[in-house]
């Protein structure tokens, strides 16, 4: 199909993780499955890395339209003003694309990708003569009420966001964007439920992220003298590292012998980095918890391979790149039974934890760690199930095939077209 596809990827970079990593991989898949030319709409900082990383044949088919608002070209993706900047960038993007379409009259399909939150679909669905694919979109997650201790003063902002998200289905802006979308890719059930009811027939559930393949096979498990826990993420309230720290402190108090066997490695940095150091010391865990800071991805893989259990404590996450990376490395995981982690682990790879209060969450994480420390065969079974889960549901090439289906659907409902293909 020789439709010219525009992918709007505010973040798209082969040399970065998180959102830029997602944008880069969606671009690669679209270039693979599309027969026509592809236009990438992104920020200026990503243009050169993308061009340098592409093969010559793909580079020849790609037109990059890169822009930033005046004075903002160097703004990092974790900048405190990034969210409002993204809103203004999306407004400007409409005019940039309209001018492009006026000059070339070639665009047939537009996909809105990366930074895709349910309350900000951008404005590219207004571009005439094109089919608009919104997503994969996430951001419909609401932290559980018991997570209040994790946010501190920021909890008031979370309550306001919760109110805003629960009224999105009645928001004229969201309703118009949903109506004008030919297909909506939703990353999880929480986000689906935030969209207007009439849009559900257009929705296809798929994670916004994936991995390139499995990188390990389950190792022979045996009861070991030491047991290594790995936590990877940004040090900020919603990632909830404090849950793991409090669980380890509880194990220290209740099961000192098991505590002696534990090794905890924490990889990541963020606004709570200094606060985390203080909490580790206050809980008496300074000799037990190793804070590694940020590391290049090449140095992260050995950490996955050397750990025994991955702990994902996030209370508000669309999915979790690091969770997929752990499963692809043959490392089983434990996580809360909600949002993105549920979408991933319900297909195998670890244990989902239910909790109705903060103290219960701490107890259940501690219990899961203690049980799995002495269950090497169960860990091996989780690891094998995780690898199978990745191969069946979480590969980038499967995202490419989904996009091919969306291209082939044309005027027909993409959801019904997908169902007929799978029948």
Instruction: Tell me which CATH homologous superfamily contains domain 227-393.
Output: Glycogen Phosphorylase B; (3.40.50.2000)
What is the rounded average pLDDT of the residues 395-416?
A: 81
Residue 418 above 70 pLDDT? no
Following DSSP, what letter does each residue of 40-80 receive, concatenated? Answer: EEE-HHHHHHHHHHS-HHHHHHEEEEE---TT-TT--TT-T
- Kindly indicate the confidence band of residue 1, based on its pLDDT and cuts at 50, 70 and 90: very low
Return the pLDDT at 98: 97
Residues 298-326 pLDDT 10s: 789 899 999 999 999 999 999 888 999 99
CA 73 to chain centroid, in Å, comes to: 24
Return the pLDDT at 218: 61
Return the pLDDT at 422: 42
- Kindly indicate the confidence band of residue 423, based on its pLDDT and cuts at 50, 70 and 90: very low
Structural domain spans, the chain: 4-210+395-422, 227-393
Q: Which residues, at least 6 apart from 19, have a Cβ–Cβ distance to it below 8 Å?
A: 10, 11, 77, 114, 115
Residue 103 belongs to what H/E stretch? helix 82-104
Residue 215 above 90 pLDDT? no
**Domain at 4-210+395-422: CATH code:** 3.40.50.2000
Is the pTM above the cut of 0.85? yes
Helix runs in 115-194, H state only: 148-151, 155-166, 172-180, 189-194
Q: N- to C-terminal Cα distance for the chain? A: 22
- Kindly indicate the confidence band of residue 128, based on its pLDDT and cuts at 50, 70 and 90: very high
Q: Which residues, at least 6 apart from 297, have a Cβ–Cβ distance to it below 8 Å?
A: 17
Residue 78 above 90 pLDDT? no
- Kindly indicate the confidence band of residue 379, based on its pLDDT and cuts at 50, 70 and 90: very high
On the question of a common fold for 4-210+395-422 and 227-393, the answer reads: yes
Tally of CA atoms within 13 A in the half-sphere of 179 that contains its CB: 9
Cis peptide preceding 136, ω within 30 of 0 = yes
Return the pLDDT at 412: 55
Return the pLDDT at 57: 80
Q: Mean pLDDT, the chain, as a whole number? A: 91
Decide: 82 and 3 in contact? Cβ < 8 Å: no
- Kindly indicate the confidence band of residue 296, based on its pLDDT and cuts at 50, 70 and 90: confident
Which residues share a beta bridge with 185? 204
Residue 417 above 70 pLDDT? no
Neighbours of 270 (CB within 10 A): 16
Return the pLDDT at 328: 95
Residue 220 above 70 pLDDT? no
Report the alpha-carbon distance of residue 69 to residue 92 in Å, rounded.
Answer: 8
- Alpha-carbon Rg for the chain, nearest whole angstrom, is 22
């Amino acid at each position: 199909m020789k439709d010219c596809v525009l992918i709007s990827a505010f973040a798209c970079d082969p040399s970065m993780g998180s959102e830029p990593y997602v944008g880069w991989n969606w671009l690669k898949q679209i270039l693979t499955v599309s027969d026509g030319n592809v236009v990438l709409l992104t920020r200026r900082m990503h243009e050169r890395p993308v061009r340098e990383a592409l093969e010559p044949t793909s580079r020849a088919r790609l037109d990059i339209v890169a822009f930033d608002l005046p004075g903002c070209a160097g703004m990092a993706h974790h900048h405190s003003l990034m969210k409002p900047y993204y809103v203004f960038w999306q407004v400007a993007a409409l005019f940039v694309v309209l001018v492009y379409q006026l000059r070339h009259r070639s665009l047939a399909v537009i996909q809105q990708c990366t930074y895709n939150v349910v309350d900000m679909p951008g404005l590219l669905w207004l571009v005439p003569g094109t089919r608009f694919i919104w997503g994969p979109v996430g951001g419909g997650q609401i932290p559980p009420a018991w997570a209040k201790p994790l946010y501190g003063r920021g909890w008031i902002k979370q309550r306001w966001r919760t109110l805003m998200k629960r009224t999105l289905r009645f928001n004229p802006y969201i309703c118009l964007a949903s109506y004008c979308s030919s297909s909506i890719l939703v990353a999880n059930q929480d986000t689906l439920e935030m969209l207007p009811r009439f849009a559900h027939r257009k929705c296809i559930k798929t994670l916004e992220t994936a991995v390139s393949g499995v990188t390990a096979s389950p190792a022979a498990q045996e009861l070991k003298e030491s047991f290594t826990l790995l936590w990877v993420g940004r040090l900020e309230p919603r990632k909830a590292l404090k849950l793991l720290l409090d669980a380890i402190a509880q194990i220290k108090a209740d099961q000192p012998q098991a505590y002696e066997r534990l090794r905890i490695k924490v990889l990541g940095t963020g606004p709570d980095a200094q606060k985390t150091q203080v909490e580790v010391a206050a809980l008496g865990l300074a000799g037990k918890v190793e804070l590694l800071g940020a590391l290049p991805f090449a140095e992260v893989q050995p950490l996955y391979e050397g750990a025994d259990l991955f702990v994902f404590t996030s209370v508000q996450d669309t999915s979790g790149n690091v969770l997929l990376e752990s499963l692809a490395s043959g490392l089983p995981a434990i996580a809360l039974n909600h949002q993105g982690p549920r979408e991933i682990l319900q297909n195998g790879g670890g244990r989902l934890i239910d909790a109705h209060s903060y103290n219960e969450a701490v107890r259940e994480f501690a219990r899961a760690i203690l049980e799995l420390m002495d269950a090497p065969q169960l860990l091996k079974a989780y690891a094998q199930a995780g690898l199978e889960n990745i191969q069946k549901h979480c590969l980038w090439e499967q995202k490419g095939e989904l996009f091919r289906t969306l291209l082939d659907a044309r005027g027909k409902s993409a959801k019904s077209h997908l169902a007929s293909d799978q029948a």
